[in-house]
Amino acid sequence: MAFTFLQCIEEACGRRQDPKRESHLCAWCGGLLDVRYEFDITDPETLRAAWHQRRLSGEPIDRSGVWRFRELLPFIGAHDRVISLSEGSTPLVGTRRAGWWAGPVHLTIKHQGINPTGSFKDLGMTACMTRAASLGVRMVACASTGNTSSSMAAYAGRAGMKAILFVPYRQISAAKLAQALDFGAMVVEIGDSFDEAFSLLRQVAAEMRFYLVNSINPFRIEGQKTIVAEMMEQRAWRPPDYIVVPGGNLGNASAIGKGLRELKEMGFIEKVPKVVVIQAAGANPFFRTLRAGSKELIPVEKPDTEATAIRIGRPANWKKARRVLEWTGGFCESVTDEEIFEGKAALAEDGVGCEPASAATVAGIRKLVRAGKIERHADIIAILTGHQLKDTDYVIRHHSAAEDSRQRIRVDANLDALRKALEGVLAVRA
């Protein structure tokens, strides 16, 4: 088995940590940690064939799109119980109208909404809950804009652990709250923003003996990085020019970058796609920080966007994400809520639904193509992070009967009125 260790990401420190310590941050400088390995992979070709072969297997561990690539996460021991719900194995879907609208570019969608709890968070959760189970953890906790909590609640149920989640009061979608309650989690509604809830959780976690599963937990990143292997396999190991993700806490961008780097170093891919992060204009601390060339994070004190999954003012993983943009030659862009809405509509024309945060990707691509930062006809994969039904309030709000007479009409319950109304609508359509 490959040797596993934890290492501080700060260049001035870089110290290796005791792997049994579970604080998630460097014991010396408080920096973020990477899970690192001395991989013993020497022959990518054989491993690719083995991964491919596992798709035909009926074993639960092989049916997971994370654990099918378990040689990339060699921190589990032979006898560890894997906490899985058959996550991953999500489709790559081509687009026509959305690619035209955003470019024209060759736009392919990697739809992470098609996961057990409806978001990409399941990939990270299976990895860190497996880790937690191996440590004998009984209580897990996170602060969340919604999807991490849905996912944690499900995997905690699976593992037989108690789940406690901190969410900002009245700021997460009804669907996400419902999932967490349905899976039996204890919900603490606290603070006005994710950042506030997270900060309070961090202050009590140690004394309450909570095991934190927020994305500062580096094992989350390990699960999430496997999306890259899955995607490359689906494309016969031909990388695209760009991989575009929405950025909130910036764990996903960090994971994708780590996955790409490891695959490149071990010879699975020749070329490394540029990783592009899109933030909402009302919650764009990473964009501001990079634009200012600042060494310190420039936080957004009152983050505001309808894309609640990325409404974060102090992204915990910003330094890991910055490193990814440096490794891959990528960049960060910021788009307004109107642009996100248009992006979502463009995807919908291709029959692809997603939650608002996910649509920031196509909105960002359009903006970057217009600015000449992404070439026309570039080969691009946009990661759609969450399922369409995660935030139905958003959709319904934007199509209220009074404002959107193209799609919604209210008709008196008699035939005359009905005929008149239908003729009116159909005439407009024709």
Give the binding site for Zn ion (CB under 5 A). Answer: 8, 10, 13, 26, 28-29, 31
Element (H, E) at 131: helix 121-134
What mask of x and - would describe binding to ligand PLP in positions 348 to 387, judged by CB under 6 A?
-------x-xx--------------------------xx-
Beta carbon nearer to ligand PLP, 68 or 314: 314
Element (H, E) at 7: strand 3-8
For residue 13, the partner it binds in ligand PLP, Zn ion, none, with Cβ less than 5 to 8 A by kind, is Zn ion
Beta carbon nearer to Zn ion, 31 or 74: 31
**Residue in the shown chain whose Cβ atom is closest to ligand PLP:** 386
Binders of ligand PLP among residues 133 to 162 (CB under 6 A) are 147
Pairing of strands 162-167, 139-143: parallel
The Cα 90–Cα 314 span in angstroms is: 30
User: At its nearest, how many Å lie between ligand PLP and the CB of residue 352?
Assistant: 14
- Residues 143, 194 contacting (CB under 8 angstroms): yes
What mask of x and - would describe binding to ligand PLP in positions 384 to 413, judged by CB under 6 A?
-xx---------------------------
Say whether the peptide bond before residue 104 is cis (omega within 30 degrees of 0): yes
The Cα 51–Cα 49 span in angstroms is: 5
Angle at 384 between CA 180 and CA 92, to 5 degrees: 120
Tokens standing for residue 341 = 């809405």
User: Judged by CB under 6 A, does residue 282 bind ligand PLP?
Assistant: no
Pairing of strands 274-280, 242-246: parallel
User: Judged by CB under 6 A, does residue 257 bind ligand PLP?
Assistant: no
Give the interface segment with ligand PLP, choosing from 2-10, 233-241, 244-252, 257-265 (CB under 6 A). 244-252
Beta carbon nearer to ligand PLP, 215 or 305: 215
The Cα 133–Cα 408 span in angstroms is: 49
Angle at 47 between CA 129 and CA 226, to 5 degrees: 35
For residue 310, the partner it binds in Zn ion, ligand PLP, none, with Cβ less than 5 to 8 A by kind, is ligand PLP
What mask of x and - would describe binding to ligand PLP in positions 170 to 209, judged by CB under 6 A?
----------------------------------------
Pairing of strands 211-212, 242-246: unpaired
Question: Up-side HSE of residue 402: CA atoms within 13 Å toward CB?
Answer: 1
Contacts of 201 (CB under 8 A, 6+ apart): 141, 142, 143, 166, 210, 212, 214
The owner of tokens 């599963």 is 213
Give the interface segment with ligand PLP, choosing from 247-255, 264-272, 394-402, 408-416 (CB under 6 A). 247-255
User: Judged by CB under 6 A, does residue 289 bind ligand PLP?
Assistant: no
The Cα 4–Cα 39 span in angstroms is: 9
For residue 122, the partner it binds in Zn ion, ligand PLP, none, with Cβ less than 5 to 8 A by kind, is none
Binders of ligand PLP among residues 23 to 82 (CB under 6 A) are none
Among 103, 218, 240, 246, the residue binding ligand PLP under the rule CB under 6 A is: 246
Binding site for ligand PLP (CB under 6 A): 119, 121, 147, 215, 246-252, 309-310, 355, 357-358, 385-386
